[in-house]
Amino acid sequence: MLDTIAALLLAHALADFVFQSRWMVENKHDMPPLLAHTAIVFALSLAALGGAFWPALLVALLHLQIDFAKARLGGQSLGPFLADQAAHGVAILVTALLFPLAVARGLWPAIHPDAGQAMALLAGLILATRMGQFLVGKLMAPYADAIHEEDGLPDGGALIGLLERGLTFIFVLAGQTTGVGLLIAAKSFLRVGTANESRKMAEYVIIGTLASIGWALLVAYGAQWLIARLADG
């Protein structure tokens, strides 16, 4: 069952945080973009499961219902985002419970016996970096108006966040957790000049950094656990 969960997590991460366009996100109250997104979920789930049609269809239909409900209820803040992702997690778990051997009976075991571990690793990396970008962004959004950065590069902060979460994930999976401390120290040193100019900026940077790296650590240890269980068979 764990390999099915890993496959569906990867499909979800790709569908929601890589292949979902801004047009889809902003127009899910209309059926065409919602159905287009659902088709992507189905195609990616089908591929990740190695051709298992019915579980891919089930998770896609559940995804459709969850996104439809969110579009009707509205809300772009952190709370609705977390509720939406939690609902997708439950949908993945339900599908895996109903079809625990979906991956085992699919094409992947014949192609590569460690495909489940690879999918868990890639899913974790996407969730740590891309999902973390949305999570931290929504967390910090209420405070953004109080911060004015005039000299920063376009999307420089978002890129820094992606890199720090990606590096944190890699450090944990590589067993080099001391690297996370060095990463925090390096960022603190580089931002100390800007932070000293404003208490608001200092607090904003600290909260954002802790949230970003904390999320990456949580996902990294979760991925590490899943990979270890898959390796044990």
Given this model, what pLDDT does residue 217 score? 97
Are 119 and 230 in a shared domain?
yes
Please state, in angstroms and rounded to a whole number, the distance separating the CA atoms of residues 133 and 131: 5
What's the distance, CA 128 to chain centroid?
A: 5
Given this model, what pLDDT does residue 85 score? 97
The three-point CA angle 57-23-134 to 5° equals 85
Please state, in angstroms and rounded to a whole number, the distance separating the CA atoms of residues 92 and 55: 10
Are 102 and 122 in a shared domain?
no
Given this model, what pLDDT does residue 152 score? 65
Lowest mean pLDDT among 8-22, 39-53, 120-134, 171-185: 171-185
* Mean of pLDDT values over 39-61: 97
Nearest in space to 213 (alpha carbons), one of 155, 151, 136, 101: 136
Are 83 and 69 in a shared domain?
yes
Are 52 and 129 in a shared domain?
no
Q: Which of 67, 96, 111 is the last residue of a domain?
A: 111
Q: Which of 45, 79, 111 is the last residue of a domain?
A: 111
Are 184 and 89 in a shared domain?
no
Given this model, what pLDDT does residue 32 score? 93
pLDDT in tens, 95-148: 999 999 999 999 999 998 899 999 999 999 999 999 999 999 999 998 877 776
Q: CB neighbours (10 Å) of residue 24?
A: 21
Check pLDDT > 70 for residue 196.
no
Lowest mean pLDDT among 12-21, 30-39, 200-209: 200-209
Lowest mean pLDDT among 17-26, 194-203, 223-232: 194-203
**What one-letter code names the amino acid at 99?**
F
Supply the mean pLDDT for the chain: 91
**Residue written as token pair 């929504």:** 138
Check pLDDT > 60 for residue 150.
no
Percent of the chain with pLDDT over 70: 94
Are 129 and 105 in a shared domain?
no
Q: How many structural domains is the chain composed of?
A: 2
Given this model, what pLDDT does residue 43 score? 98
Task: Report how far apart, in Å, the C-alpha atoms of 216 and of each of 109, 133, 200, 220, 221 are.
Answer: 29, 10, 24, 6, 9
* Mean of pLDDT values over 168-190: 89
Are 123 and 83 in a shared domain?
no
Are 118 and 232 in a shared domain?
yes
Q: Which residue has the higher pLDDT, 165 or 143?
A: 165
pTM for this entry: 0.92
Check pLDDT > 80 for residue 192.
no
Please state, in angstroms and rounded to a whole number, the distance separating the CA atoms of residues 80 and 67: 11
Check pLDDT > 60 for residue 61.
yes
